[in-house]
């Protein structure tokens, strides 16, 4: 195959930006489906009446935090096609990301729930609240505020994690960069640009996470 190297043009930049959009779309999918899932996991981890729910959730979290995201992607992606499910590639790539998000954010939910001091729960109980009312009015305000800084920090992790979709050939920002770099002279320029785009997405999120954590520590 004759190697046709072309110059790096604005069309390539557009291609990269499309990749960036795909990256953001993957994250949005992971968060929107992963968050309710994380709530379930977090509640399971702190269940008081139905204690037997605790360990499955704990095992799930251990597995997803103790294995490489790359492997999770491989297994989920190829595993799905084995079961015979032919899902659109976007969904197939999103699924392991959703499970990954569920595990990490599930831990944040758990930390949020446990952040409510026992005393406040007792105060709520002493006022005659039901378990549900306790959860909604006493635990939730504190839990949500405690959850937000690490969740924003996790977003950064997620954005970086989408780069692994490269490995299954899915075209997001990193794969787009690779494709462009293979067909132009400007490899280093391309990857610098790719890095800069990732940085542009992640750095504001990192800053926000730090700021939120600072504000939280002052309030309570």
Partner 1 sequence: MLELENVHKYFGSLHVLKGVSFEVRKGEVVVVIGRSGSGKSTILRCINGLEPIQQGRIEVEGELVDAHSKRVRHIREKVGFVFQSFNLFPYYTALENVSLALKIVKKNPVADAQRIAKEMLGRVGLSDKLDAYPDRLSGGQQQRVAIARALAMSPDLMLFDEVTSALDPELVGEVLKVMQDLAEGGMTMIVVTHEMGFARAVGDRVLFFDEGEIAEQGTPEQIFNHPQHEHLRTFIQSIL
Partner 2 sequence: MTYKFHWEVPLQDLPAFLWGALATLEISGLAVLIGLFIAIACALARLSKMAALRRIAGAYVEVIRNTPLLVQIFYVYFGLPAVGINLSAFTVAIIALTINCGAYCSEIIRAGIQSIHRGQTEAGLSLGMTPWQVFRYVILMPTLRVVWPPLASQFIATMLGSSVVSQISAEELTYAGMLLESRTYRTFEIFFAITIIYFTMSQVFSLASNLTGRRVFRQAWGQL
- Applying CB under 8 A, the residues found at the interface with partner 2 are 62-63, 66-72, 74-75, 78-79, 82-84, 156, 159-161, 163-164, 166-167, 174, 177-178, 181, 187-188, 191-192, 194-195, 198-199, 202-203, 206
What does the per-residue mask of binding to partner 1 show for 144-173, with x meaning CB under 8 A? -x----------------------------
- The 8-class DSSP code of residue 46 comes to T
Nearest-angstrom CA–CA distance, 60 and 72: 13
User: Helices 187-219 & 173-183, crossing angle to 10 degrees?
Assistant: 160
Q: Which residue has the tokens 């004759």?
A: 2
The strand ranges marked E within the chain are: none
Residue 217 makes CB contacts below 8 A (sequence gap 6+) with: none
215 binds partner 1 (CB under 8 A): no
| 91 beta partners | none
The residues in 117-136 that bind partner 1, with binding defined as CB under 8 A, are 117, 119-120, 122-130, 133
The residues in 58-87 that bind partner 1, with binding defined as CB under 8 A, are none
Shortest CB 40 distance to partner 2, Å: 23
CB under 5 to 8 A by kind: which of partner 2, partner 1, none does 164 bind? partner 2
């Amino acid at each position: 195959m004759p190697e046709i190297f072309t110059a790096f043009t604005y069309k390539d930049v557009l291609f990269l930006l499309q990749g960036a959009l795909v990256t953001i779309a993957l994250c949005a999918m992971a968060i929107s489906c992963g968050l309710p899932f994380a709530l379930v996991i977090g509640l399971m981890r702190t269940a008081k009446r139905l204690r037997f729910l605790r360990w499955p959730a704990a095992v799930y979290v251990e597995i997803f935090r103790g294995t490489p995201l790359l492997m999770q992607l491989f297994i989920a992606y190829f595993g799905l096609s084995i079961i015979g499910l032919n899902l659109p590639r976007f969904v197939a790539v999103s699924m392991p990301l959703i499970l990954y998000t569920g595990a990490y954010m599930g831990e944040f939910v758990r930390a949020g729930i446990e952040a409510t001091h026992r005393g406040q729960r007792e105060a709520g109980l002493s006022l005659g609240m039901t378990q549900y009312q306790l959860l909604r009015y006493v635990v939730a305000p504190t839990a949500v505020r405690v959850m937000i800084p690490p969740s924003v920090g996790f977003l950064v992790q997620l954005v970086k994690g989408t780069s692994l979709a490269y490995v299954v050939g899915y075209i997001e920002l990193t794969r787009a960069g690779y494709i462009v770099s293979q067909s132009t002279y400007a490899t280093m320029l391309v990857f610098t640009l790719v890095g800069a785009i990732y940085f542009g997405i992640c750095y504001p999120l990192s800053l926000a996470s730090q700021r939120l954590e600072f504000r939280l520590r002052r309030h309570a």
